[in-house]
Structures are given as C-alpha cells and as structure tokens.
Chains A and B, each alone.
Chain A
Amino acid sequence: MPANPAVKQVSEVCWEIPTSYKPGMNVPARIYANVKLLENMDSGVIEQATNVACLPGIVRYSYAMADAHWGYGFPIGGVAAFDPEKGVISPGGVGFDVNCGMRLIRTNLSYSEVKPKVKELVDLIFNLVPAGVGVKGSQNFAQSQMGDITSLGVRWCAENDLAWEDDPQHVEEGGYIKGADISKVSRQAISRGVNQFGTLGSGNHYLEIQVVDPARYLDRDLAGEFGIVHDDQVMVMIHCGSRGFGHQVCTDYLRTFESGMRRFEIEVRDRDLACLPFSSKEGQDYYSAMVCAANFAFVNRQIIVNKVREAFSRVFHREADALDMHLIYDVCHNVAKVETHTYDGRTAKVLVHRKGATRSFGPGHPDVPAPYRKVGQPVIIGGSMETGSYLLVGTQKAMEETFGSTAHGSGRTMSRTAARREVRGAELQKKMLDRGIYVKAATMDGLAEEAGMAYKDISEVVETMDRAGISKKVVALRPVGNIKG
C-alpha cells in the first residue's frame, strides 16, 4: 500500500491508526508488520481494520496481524474483542469456514526412513482422506448423532473410540468449545455436513508430511517440550475446517443478522460487517450454532488424523502408537470465543473474534494443556506448500497486547485467477518433485492456485510476530509430501 500518513509507528513491527482517521472509530487500529510487509499490504486492510474499529462495544484495538489481507468485512488476519454486554458478534469476524484451523502430529520417524516411502504414503492418504468437489467421508454418522458430536467434539470421539485418550487435551479448548446447541443449526447445514467428516475440502486446505528444518530455525529446548527431539523428525500437518456445515451456518446467520440489524438500528460501513448485539437472541443463537460448527471442525480433523495414523501404520508395519503419532496441538484460526483477559487495568470476559488469526496463550495460562503450561500454547502457522510452515509458542506479551492472538499463515497476495494465469499445475507439480516435495492434488488448476508465489513470505510473517514478542518461534518445518483438495 502507498505510505499513509495516518499510520504511525508504535514499535519496530507495530503500527497504529488513530481514532481520528475515520468518523465513528471507537478504538484505534493496530497492524503488526515489518516495513516490507506493510508496504506490500493491500490498502483494504487499513480500510477494513478501521471499519471494524467502528463496531459497537469493541475494546482496546482493532488488530491486523502480519499476514493480513482484504477479506469480507473483517480483514483476514483480523482480531477484535468486544464487551459481551455492550458489544456485538459478527459472522464476518469469524469467516465462512468456522474453525478452519491447523493440527500438527508428530512421529518418531526420521526423514531418511520416510523419504523412500513418501509417494506411497501420500498416495494412500489421498485415497483415505477425500478432497475436492462434493466429496463424502468414509465415516458414516447419523443425523441423530450430530447433536452429541457437535456438542462434545473430540471428547465425543474419545468416548467412541475415535480418538486416543490424550488427543482431546492437545486440542484447543480441550477438543470442544462449550455452548453448542444443535437446535440453532439448520437442517441444510446438518445435511451438508453429516457425510463430510474426514474430508479435506479444497481451496487452500491441505495435508502435509513435513520434516524439521533446523537450517531455517530450530530451538531445541522448546521443540523438546513438544516431543520434537530429532533434527530430521517427521511431522504431519493438517489444514481444514468445518466444511459445508460451517459454511451453511454462516450463510444462514448472515441472513438472520441482515434483517436483525434493522430492528436494532445498527448501521455498519460495510454490509459484510453484519453484526448484532452478542446479548441478543439472534447473537446467542449464532454463537451456539457457530460453536457447533467449530466442534464439527475439531472432529473433522480428528477423523482425518485417524486415517493418517492408519496410513503410516500400514506403510511402516507398526502401530501408530509405536510411531509416537501423538498430537502436538490443534488450533482454530476462524472463531469467536468468550475468554477472560486482563486489559486496561481490569480482568473481564470478552468476546474475541479471530478471523485468520490464531490463539497464542502464554506460559502459565490455565487453558494451556498441563504438559505445555510451563512454556506456553503451541501455535501452528502454515505457509504455502512450497515454503513450509512453523511451530511457535504463545507468550505473555500476546496476553498483554493482542488478547492472546497472533497470525495464522502466509496470506494471499494474488487472486486465484491471476495465479492460474501465471502457473500451470502440472509444471508446478514437477518442479516441486524436483525439489523433493511429492504433491498429489485433486485438480491441477487447484494446485496452480496454491503456488507459493501467490502468498506472502511465511518467514517474514513469523519473524514479525516473533520480533513483536507475540509468538515465539520453535521450529521451521519443510514439506516433503502434500495433498491438496
């Protein structure tokens, strides 16, 4: 974006836009970015972050993280916290794909063991984890089970032999967010989602076999806290969300909110910022339905993990437990949650919207699983399939500055159509294979759209959040096998 005189530098990687920038701003906006990221950030980020700052009941700041780019209403990479009594809830502040998120699983395998079997593993996982248009999962649940599944999430899975005993505690919120109510979810959403458990979806969703990349970054002490103990240890990362279920929840409630706003006489600068008081019946109904969708996504990723464990077990002829395929963690990056935070000299509940942003709770926080509490919550930030990803850890500074929030990924810089014009999927697939990354995609056009050139540099994003002290780098992970929808 061209230099904007309204944007003032607060610290090395933090910039502020004051409330005087736009009439109606209740709080300033803050952007986390280094100079290069800020210069290349689309101008829509400032516009949208300052529009969000105008919403009723917002507290402290409207945030945009280092990977921010233009979205619908809220920027992707946006964070905003609201007073639960006086503030609003906004489906645009969550996103269509409720609890799109990341899950990271470790193995005790070295790359030298996995390298000769990457193709076999990827091909097998591609068959076990459907991806692409209209796919159905192999896990058949009945519609009558959806209430329990979306209330208890991964805990339900553990109670029904679909998760290991320690899986739930290694998922954000212990594997399920409280407050789900399936009666607030439409028949259409249930019908769309019931057959989609264990599917990857498409777009920017992926499943990746990765290797620790010490040449790029490795903090051995911190990595050891998460069971990463070898310099060429193999991991598996999953990026997907709530599938048609979550999308339909958002679709349904955007409609409800549009008509509700007239009743509450709420006006917003952008139609995509449709919102209602969190305390209203509609606001509470949306929250309950959104929580169902969030828990759906946790279960979806759990079913996929089961298939990944099965694939590794079959290829390496050992039980997944013997391969130490335990979850490191699972994080949401599209969600609104009621959390307790200390800000402006008081401790209170706030409704935190994270849209393309990740929770980053610091050491000692009671919501960080006990095994990690002394170091902080794992933060999984996924890059493009060419550049790799990172594991980081949450910090006390995040709690003090950003309601415990950080970036979520690279952020797109180029549209899908533009990427398809620049890149041919088959050529990209071959180029990646030459670089040692075996990619299997549901469609070649979809692959082209996800080329690395269409995304920001993940290392710049991660470095920025590390320098801001919001999330601290633990280890870089490079891809060796990738499945794309």
Chain B
Amino acid sequence: MARGWLSSTPFRYLPDVALADIAFEAESSSVNGLFEECALAITDIMVDPGTLRNTSERSLALESENLDRLLYDFMTELIVIKDVDSLLFGRVRVVVSPSGTSLRAVLAGEPIDRERHRLRNDVKAVTMHLFGVKHEGTSWKTTVVLDI
C-alpha cells in the first residue's frame, strides 16, 4: 500500500480519484487519531515533514455541528493558518469531544523557511467530494480530496 510520499504514516494517496488535485485516505483506531492523520497528510502534501522542526506550538479549539463538519473545519483551519501565519505543523495532538462536535488540538511546527524546507504542493481548500467520516468496527476512516 502506498503511504505518504516518504512517511510511514497510515494515510495513503489515491492517485486515481482526482485529476487536477490530490486525494488521500486516512484510517485510525481512534477518532482522535483520524484527525491527527488527516493533519499530517495535509502537511505531507505541502512539505517533506523530515525537513520540519516542530519548535513552536499553537493551541486550537473548534466547534461544529457534527463530526464530519468538525473534521472538515479542522482541516480548513490548518490551511487558513498556513496562509495567514505561514505555519506548517509536523506534530499534532487532537482530542475530540464525545459528542463529536468540538475539539481541542495542540499543533507543533514552525514558520515556512524556503531555504530549509523541501516544499511541495500548496493546499488551498478541502473539497466535499467523497468526504465523510466512517466508523466501521474499531476503525475510523475518511477520504479527503484537496484542491491544489
């Protein structure tokens, strides 16, 4: 199974889903882990995580109407932070509330350094195409298509 570009995380790219954009599938045994995998996938698309030093931390709190929307809003917030504050995150810890309508996250990363970071694609938006969170047995899964 193809993994992230050079990473060993459990998300995998889906090369046949979107012609002009990038799609991935993430899976975890916990809902917190699923959110973290999606965040790391977005980072992996934008930068070689091996070149990131996770030296500064940021806390994040979000609320949304349901779990699908919460994940969508979480990923969107990472894209906003990248554009507004030029920050990329290589380490993420997420705690989703039992209701699935809020989360707290601690993100560790650093400002974009064009000399040191091996930058990749610029992620501009999360699409709704094929999107949704599935809970099957002990597994939490999602498919995400990102506009590049």
Contacts and interface: CB of A to CB of B under 8 A. Distances in A.
A416 B83 contact: no
A251 B80 CA distance: 11
B148 A202 contact: yes
Contacts of B127: 72, 96, 272
B84 interface: yes
A188 B76 CA distance: 10
Interface string B11-27: 00101111111100000
Contact of B112 (A72, A133, A248, A413): A133
A72 B129 contact: yes
A289 to B, nearest CB: 15
B63 interface: no
A250 B120 contact: no
Interface of B: 13, 15-22, 46-47, 69, 76, 79-80, 82-84, 86, 88, 112, 114, 118-122, 124-129, 145, 147-148
Interface residues of A, number: 47
B129 to A, nearest CB: 5
Interface stretch (A163-171, A343-351, A381-389, A439-447): A439-447
Given A188-B80, A248-B125, A251-B76, 12 more contacts: A132-B114, A132-B122, A134-B82, A134-B112, A134-B122, A191-B80, A202-B148, A203-B121, A251-B126, A415-B15, A416-B15, A418-B15
Contacts of B69: 255
B28 to A, nearest CB: 22
A69 B19 contact: yes
Contacts of A134: 46, 82-83, 86, 88, 112, 122
A485 interface: yes
A374 to B, nearest CB: 37
B20 to A, nearest CB: 5
Given A248-B125, A271-B128, A70 B120 contact: no
A248 B125 CA distance: 7
6 contacts: A76-B20, A97-B147, A133-B88, A192-B84, A416-B121, A442-B119
Contacts of B112: 133-134
A261 interface: no
Contacts of A416: 15, 19-22, 121, 148
